[in-house]
A and B are shown apart, each in its own frame.
Chain A
Amino acid sequence: PLVITFVVGVVMALEFFVPHYRFKWLTDELTEWGLILAAAAYVLGILNLLQVNVPKIVRRERDWPYKLLMVVAMVVTLGAGLGQGKDGPVYEWVYKYIFEPLSATMFSLLAFFIASAAFRAFRARNLDAAVLLSAAVLVMLASVPIGEGIPVIGEYLPGIRNWIMDVPNTAARRAIFIGAALGAVATGLRVILGIERSHLGGDA
C-alpha cells in the first residue's frame, strides 16, 4: 500500500508539470479509477452502517429503536431504488414526502436556535467581543432591505458591510486558506512518502 500511495501520489502531482499526452492519458485513467472507488465507498458505507448498528439493535443497547428505524429506512429506500429504479413510485414517495420535508425542517429549526443562542451568548464583555458584536450587527442589518431604510445610517450600511467583507474578512480568510493549503501540502507529502500512515488503518 505504501508503494501504491507513493507512485499514484507522485504521478498525480507531476500531472501539472508534464504536458505529454501519454502522461495525461495515465492521469485520466487514475482519475477514473478514483471515481469508481468513490462510488464503491458508498457500498462500504452501507456495510459499515449495518455492521455498527445491527449488533446494537440485537443487544438492545441505548437508543436501539432509533437505530432500528434508521436501518429499516435505509433498507426500504435502498430496496425501492434498486428494485424500481430511481424514478420508481416508492423511492419517489420516500424522497418527496419524507426526506425533503425532514431535511427542510432540520434547517428551519436553526433560525430559532440561533435566535436563542444569540440572545444568550452575544455579550460585549470586552473590547474584542464588542468589535465582533458590532461587526455582526452591522453586517446583519446591511444584508436585508430594512437596514437600508434606517434613517441617517441606512444608506451607508451596504458600504460598511462591503468594507468589512472586502478588507478584514478577506485578509483573514486568505491567511486561513494559505495556512490550510500549506498544511495540506505537508500532509500530502507525508502520506506520499509513507511517513503518515493513518489512512491505512489498523496497525499500519
Chain B
Amino acid sequence: MTLFAFLERFQRMDPRFVFLGMAVSIIVPMVTPFEFAFQVDERVQALYDEVEELPPGSTVLLSADFDPGSRPELEPFMRANLHHLFRKDVNVVMVTLWETAPRLVFPMLEEVAAYHDLEYGEDYVFLGYKPGVELAIKALGNNIPKAFPSDHEGTDIDDLPLLRGKQKAEDFELLVLISAGHPGTREYVLQIQGQYQLDMVSASTAVSVPDYVPFYKADQLKGLVGGMPGAAQYEKLVFPDGPPEGVQLLATPAVNVLNLGHLYIITLIVLGNIAWVLTRPRGGPATGGRS
C-alpha cells in the first residue's frame, strides 16, 4: 500500500476505530492514574477569594441548576464549594430552577452539611424547585417568601430561623450559581444582577464558559469556574494540603481522563489535517476526507 493510499484510507477510517481509541483514552487513566501539575486560573482564584472574604455568619444563596447529565462536571465544584462555605461558618440557602435537580442536589447538600455537623433550618435550608424560569429568578430578586412560602418538605418559611430577615436576593452576601445551561447563570445576570447590584459567582459546564466570560470581564460575575478542570483547580485551592479524612476529591482524579481524551482528539485533528494536506489534489478545489 502506498503512502497516499494509506492516508486516503486513514481519512475514511471506520468511526468505530475512533470510538475505540476514545474508549482506550478514557479507560487507561482510570486504571492507571497519573498526575500533572496545573496552574490555577485567575477566574477560579477570584471565585475562591470572593468566598474567602465572606465573614462568619454570612448567608449565601446557592442555585444548583444541573441534572444527571452534567453532574460529573458540576458536582465536584458544588461539594468543594459547600465544604468551603461551611468551613467558614457561612450558611447556605439552596434553590433550583431545574425540575430534575432536587433529588440530585439535596442529598449532596445534606451529606456535606452532616460532615460539618450542621443543623437543617439553622445552618442550611433547601427551598426546592420553582418553575417559571426567569419569572422565578425575578421572584427571588423581589420577594422570596412569596416565591417560596415553604421549603422543599413543606415547612413554612417563617419556621426556618435561617430565613428570618431574608426577604430578597440582596439580603444574601453572595449568590453562587451552579449552572448547566438554561435557566442558569445568564438568566440570573440578566434578571437581577444589574437591578440589585448583587455579588455573584458561577460554576458552569466547560462548554458554557465562553458565554459567561463577558459577564466576568464586566464584573457582573466576581468569579467563574468552568467544568471539571476549573473544579479541579478550585479543589486545589480549597484543600491545598489534600482532602481531610472523609472527604473525597472528585475533579482532581477525573481530570486525568480529560488529559488523555483531549490529547486524543487533538491528535486525531492534527493527523487528519496532515493526511488531508498530503492527499488533496493540487491546483483544484480543496477536497479529500469525509466532511
Contact = CB atoms under 8 A, between A and B. Distances in A.
B45 interface: no
Contacts of B21: 115
Interface in B237-291: 255, 258-266, 268-270, 272-273, 276-277, 286, 289-291
Interface string A133-153: 100010011011111110000
B26 to A, nearest CB: 7
20 contacts: A24-B142, A34-B132, A34-B135, A35-B132, A35-B147, A38-B133, A42-B131, A96-B103, A111-B22, A115-B22, A116-B18, A120-B289, A137-B269, A140-B265, A143-B227, A143-B262, A145-B255, A146-B260, A146-B262, A173-B214
B76 to A, nearest CB: 15
Contacts of A170: 213-214, 217
Contacts of B18: 112, 115-116, 119
B70 interface: yes
Given A143-B206, A145-B36, A115 B265 contact: yes
B183 to A, nearest CB: 11
Given A28-B146, A140-B262, A141-B266, A123 B38 contact: no
A99 interface: yes
Interface string B192-212: 000100000000001001110
B261 A38 contact: no
A118 B269 contact: yes
B155 interface: no
A115 B41 contact: no
Interface residues of A, number: 57
A146 B263 contact: yes
Nearest to A33: B135
B276 to A, nearest CB: 5
Interface string B25-51: 010000000011111011000000000
B138 interface: yes
A158 B39 contact: yes
Contacts of A42: 131
B268 A115 contact: yes
Label chain A's interface by main secondary structure: helix
Contacts of B13: 119
Given A146-B259, A148-B36, A124 B273 contact: yes
Among all A-B residue pairs, the 6 with the closest Cβ atoms: A145-B36, A145-B38, A107-B69, A38-B132, A103-B68, A146-B259
B88 interface: no
Given A123-B272, A133-B273, A137-B266, A28 B143 contact: yes
Contact of A115 (B19, B39, B136): B19
B210 A165 contact: yes
B139 interface: yes
Interface string A101-139: 101101100011011101111111110000001000100
A126 B266 contact: no
Interface in B75-100: 100
Contact of A173 (B210, B258, B286): B210
Contact of A144 (B67, B255, B289, B291): B255
B288 to A, nearest CB: 8
Contacts of A148: 36-39
Interface string B204-232: 00100111011001000000001101001
